[in-house]
Amino acid sequence: MNYNKKHKSEKKNWIISGLIFGILMFLVNQIIFPLIKGEKITSQVFLIWLPIWLVGGLGWGFVMRWWYRRQEKRNQNKNTQK
């Protein structure tokens, strides 16, 4: 695969994966666990915690992109040294 095509597709992948991660974490921690415990779920849960989990998910996606690129550069350096 051409590096430019791969690089362009990665620009959006970290955002999508970060949002999915944030939504899943929100659902598990703010909806499912409280329902299991028998707690009420209010609109404040959505207004406060959903944006927090989405921002956290985007942060996670960005760190994963950074880590992946770092590992990729290390692998390229090892291959060029051989």
pLDDT at 82: 62
Q: For 10-57, what is each residue's pLDDT tens digit?
A: 678 999 999 999 999 999 999 999 999 999 999 999 999 999 999 999
Query: Which of the 8 DSSP states describes residue 74?
Result: H
What domain range is 57 assigned to? Answer: 42-82
Confidence check: pLDDT of 81 > 80 = no
- CA 33, CA 20: separation in Å to the nearest integer? 18
Does 80 fall in a domain?
yes
Does 65 fall in a domain?
yes
Question: Interior CA angle at 44 toward 49 and 39, to 5°?
Answer: 90
Does 3 fall in a domain?
no
Does 49 fall in a domain?
yes
Does 54 fall in a domain?
yes
